[in-house]
């Protein structure tokens, strides 16, 4: 997996990059190995006057066949937001992976029309 990490509202240092690559990179176990997937990660840090800092994490990538996998989470801590996004992505990938090939092609055909 190749990560494209972007943030307009906070500095992304090596520690944050390593954490993202470790958490989201663990999905490589359930994605076919023949695919090198560019993974787009967007991070926002917003300040809420009542709750303090809120982190919004958006992760998306395309699977073979054109299926877009995307998850968005808003949490009080950056690590919690990444963990929740990883869990959601894992559910989506497993759900897509268990569909028979004929259903995937049918779903893609309908979505492109």
Q: Which domains does the chain have, with CATH numbers?
A: 2-112 (3.30.160.100)
- The rounded distance, in Å, linking the Cα atoms of 11 and 61 is 23
Q: How many residues does the chain have?
A: 113
pTM for the full predicted model = 0.77
Per-residue model confidence as pLDDT tens digits over 5-63: 999 888 999 999 999 999 998 888 887 665 667 889 999 998 876 778 899 999 999 88
Confidence of residue 2 (pLDDT cuts 50, 70, 90): confident
Give pLDDT, residue 104: 53
- Please give the pLDDT value at position 65: 74
- Which residues are within 8 A (CB) of 72 and not within 5 positions of it... i.e. 6 or more apart? 56, 57, 58, 85
- Cα dist from 34 to 73, 98, 107, whole Å: 29, 18, 22
Mean pLDDT of 57-82: 90
The sign of the CA dihedral 10, 91, 18, 2 is negative
Residues with Cβ within 8 Å of residue 78, at least 6 apart in sequence: 16, 43, 45, 55, 57
- The least confident of 37-51, 73-87, 94-108 is 94-108
Res. 108: pLDDT tops 80: no
Specify whether the CB–CB gap between 43 and 73 falls below 8 A. Answer: no
Confidence of residue 81 (pLDDT cuts 50, 70, 90): very high
């Amino acid at each position: 997996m190749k990560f494209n990490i972007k943030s307009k509202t906070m500095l992304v240092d090596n520690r944050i990059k390593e954490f993202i690559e470790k958490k989201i990179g663990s999905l490589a176990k359930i994605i076919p190995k023949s695919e090198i997937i560019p993974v787009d990660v967007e991070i926002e840090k917003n300040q809420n006057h009542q709750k303090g800092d809120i982190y919004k994490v958006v992760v998306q990538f395309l699977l073979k066949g054109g299926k877009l996998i995307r998850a968005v989470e808003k949490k009080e801590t950056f690590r919690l937001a990444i963990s929740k996004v990883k869990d959601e992505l894992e559910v989506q990938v497993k759900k897509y992976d268990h569909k028979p090939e004929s259903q995937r092609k049918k779903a893609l055909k309908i979505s492109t029309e």
